[in-house]
Chains A and B, each alone.
Chain A
């Protein structure tokens, strides 16, 4: 018999509110199935089961705030629950109960659990231009009513939805779960707590290096010419993948400082900092980055950003990052000095890619460059190790075909 407990979704989480059960008593669950949604100071998360079995009666009703570790329900072994198994086919009631406490902007598909046969999603009719605009503005097409011919969603509909969203008051009713993507009143406090602890406990050291991205970007542009717009790979994918490769060379930066010692982690899960439009920041994990091809990593990043902004992250994604990467992108500053997220021991930051004068072989030229910064925990590693990492990072970036 297994116990399904309120998980810890971060070093500073003490309590969490059970928002809803996504599996009914008597239904079978597999390890990895999403069983419930939980709200923390950082937003809404979907929580997986760690065992196979049959869902028992909930011990904690939806809407209750409990401390981390509280048993929420029992998961019964399959054979002791043969009677209940007849009920494993999904009852229509499941869908109904799941639909009710959803965030305002969320869509019905949010509550589909893997335990159900996946519902055939209704195809959204939207113009190609509206689809692209919606993707750019992070507008969920499923939540829009089209006003074009036959109800087709057009650009104007997306623009209106974006205006409506931006005009929406930022109040949060405490009786309701946080609106997906909106800043939770507690998120600022959570960030404050984690960052204060980091600066209090971690003796940071910083290293910075300038990387010439001309060659990798040229290679990427040539690759992208062979891809459709939707399949194009962004430069950030090269950066993240190169970090993973460099960590294979210098594994000391990939791990945790726990019990006064460095615990190097075998898997490379990169916490990827995602800024929420409404303010605040989450760094959920991209799993096994060194094993992912560039297109797969591109897809994983896109998926992660989407789910971060719609409040659909998995619990494990919040806890198992082994290092963090922050990338300020097109509009960012030139150099970032990051604050490590404990118990991790390093954070790699990239500034804006911009043209700079570059001296090489006695000649001056203009190159597209990025400033890569490493913030690392001096208890775990020292500058020599960090330097090797940045050098490896540069080396991998200069051989983009090997990424």
Chain B
């Protein structure tokens, strides 16, 4: 990013909306479909104003039937369109899991390579807004289990702005997970911000003492923790996975080869999670680089509480990250 580029202040929400708008302008096959995306403007107001701009043919409100409209999106993709299907939250997406796993992810295989499904599904994920146990889980790790689809999770504004177009170019299904606490996040973007790669993890802060592996909203907790730790002389390297499937092993393994310590911060539940998968890969491929066991900070294995203090206590927090890093680096 050159310093001469004019910058504009924006939000994560606006960045996603701008990405949708740009895609609609650039490719007439692109349309947006989902619950309340039209007249209501999206439950997180991402698509507010788009109905007026593009009309009901391309900004389509659907009935409350995730299985139905995700299936319709698969059909449209098979028919040559480039649908963006919005699912309100990852919890609701379970109703469409049959369509996602048994159709979207497998049709290319079942058709002997004849029918690919160029579908993009966006959904909100994560806790922190007091939405309780049926609206606030982080289940993207489950989806990352499924071969045949790509899972991305933008944290920075540039990724919120740039991942959608790249996802639409993918011949196969891509699921984009947007953490609901990020929509109001403000920041700056170049006016000409555009597509970004969706293949690689990125080092968001370099450091020599420990590797923090994370993604999405937890990235900012890790960066905050790293800032505090730096004042004590502990330099944490923070890695933003960005793409959860396929995982970019090389980036975090190269980091661990330098730091010899790894802490994974994952808002998903611990058992059978994405963090478990990453930990296993480190054992398989980076064992001889480790100076102590890989550790994980995950969400407590409970239904997400409604009460604010309980919800905060259940999630990974900056303080718990700092404490874990201090203990690991100083052998406390």
Interface residues, chain A, with chain B CB atoms under 8 Å away: 127-132, 147-149, 152, 154-155, 229
Contact = CB atoms under 8 A, between A and B. Distances in A.
A129 B331 contact: no
B248 interface: no
Given A129-B260, A148-B331, A154 B291 contact: yes
Contact of B287 (A128, A147, A152, A155): A128
B249 interface: no
Contacts of B260: 127, 129, 155
Given A129-B260, A155-B260, A147 B331 contact: yes
B312 interface: no
A202 B213 CA distance: 64
Contacts of B291: 127-130, 148, 154-155
B43 interface: no
Contacts, number: 30
A127 B292 CA distance: 6
Interface of B: 260, 287-292, 331
A132 B289 CA distance: 8
B292 A148 contact: yes
Contacts of A148: 291-292, 331
Interface of A (DSSP majority class): helix
**8 closest A-B pairs by CB:** A129-B291, A127-B291, A128-B288, A132-B288, A129-B260, A155-B291, A148-B331, A154-B291
Contact of B290 (A128, A147, A149, A229): A128
Contact of B288 (A129, A147, A154): A129
Given A127-B260, A149-B331, A154-B331, 16 more contacts: A128-B288, A128-B290, A128-B291, A129-B260, A129-B288, A129-B291, A130-B291, A132-B288, A147-B331, A148-B292, A148-B331, A149-B292, A154-B291, A154-B292, A155-B260, A155-B291
Contacts of B289: 128-129
A155 B260 CA distance: 9
B273 to A, nearest CB: 23
A243 B53 CA distance: 80
A129 B259 CA distance: 11
B288 A229 contact: yes
Nearest to B260: A129
Contacts of A149: 292, 331
Nearest to B327: A149
Contacts of B290: 127-129
Contacts of A147: 331
29 contacts: A127-B260, A127-B290, A127-B291, A127-B292, A128-B287, A128-B288, A128-B289, A128-B290, A128-B291, A129-B260, A129-B288, A129-B289, A129-B290, A129-B291, A130-B291, A132-B288, A147-B331, A148-B291, A148-B292, A148-B331, A149-B292, A149-B331, A152-B292, A154-B291, A154-B292, A154-B331, A155-B260, A155-B291, A229-B288
